[in-house]
């Protein structure tokens, strides 16, 4: 009972919190498909980047610099690589109407036997 209520409570609170934000997050919402599908291909390499990034900022005693750099790396991935993956996945659906329209406008050539 507790496990199910927590599983439903967390997404509900996130949805309520996001609805109260005064920012338009449609860009990131529309590109979550690309982020989800393609993050499996990048996760190991990005993990190595994060480790080396944390090694570069070991001089920071608070660790906040590493935290903000990791959040920035995630924001860059979501802002640029996510949309690229999203539109790569949607390319067939976006090109088909254009190709069909172009083919419909071409004159028909009669084939003579």
Which position has the token pair 């949607």? 90
How far apart (Å, rounded) are the C-alpha atoms in residues 102 and 97? 9
| Cα separation values, 7 from 10, 14, 68, Å | 6, 12, 28
In terms of pTM, does the model score above 0.85?
no
Quick check: 111 pLDDT over 80? Answer: no
Question: Which of 26, 36, 43, 24 has the alpha carbon at shortest distance from 85?
Answer: 36
What is Dmax (Cα atoms) for the chain? 84
pLDDT at 90: 87
Quick check: 61 pLDDT over 70? Answer: yes
pLDDT at 67: 93
pLDDT at 113: 63
How far apart (Å, rounded) are the C-alpha atoms in residues 54 and 102? 52
pLDDT at 83: 85
Over range 26-53, report the average pLDDT: 83
Q: Are 69 and 100 in contact (CB under 8 A)?
A: no
pLDDT at 65: 92
pLDDT at 73: 87
């Amino acid at each position: 009972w507790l496990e199910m209520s927590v599983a439903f409570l967390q997404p509900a609170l996130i949805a309520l919190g996001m609805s109260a934000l005064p920012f338009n997050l449609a860009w990131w919402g529309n590109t979550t498909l690309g982020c989800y599908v393609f993050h499996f291909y990048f996760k190991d390499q990005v993990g190595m980047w994060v480790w080396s990034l944390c090694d570069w900022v070991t001089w920071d005693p608070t660790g906040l610099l590493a935290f903000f750099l990791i959040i920035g790396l995630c924001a860059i991935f979501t802002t640029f690589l996510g949309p690229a993956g999203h539109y790569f996945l949607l390319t067939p659906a976006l090109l088909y109407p254009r190709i069909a329209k172009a083919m419909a406008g071409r004159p028909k050539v009669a084939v003579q036997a």
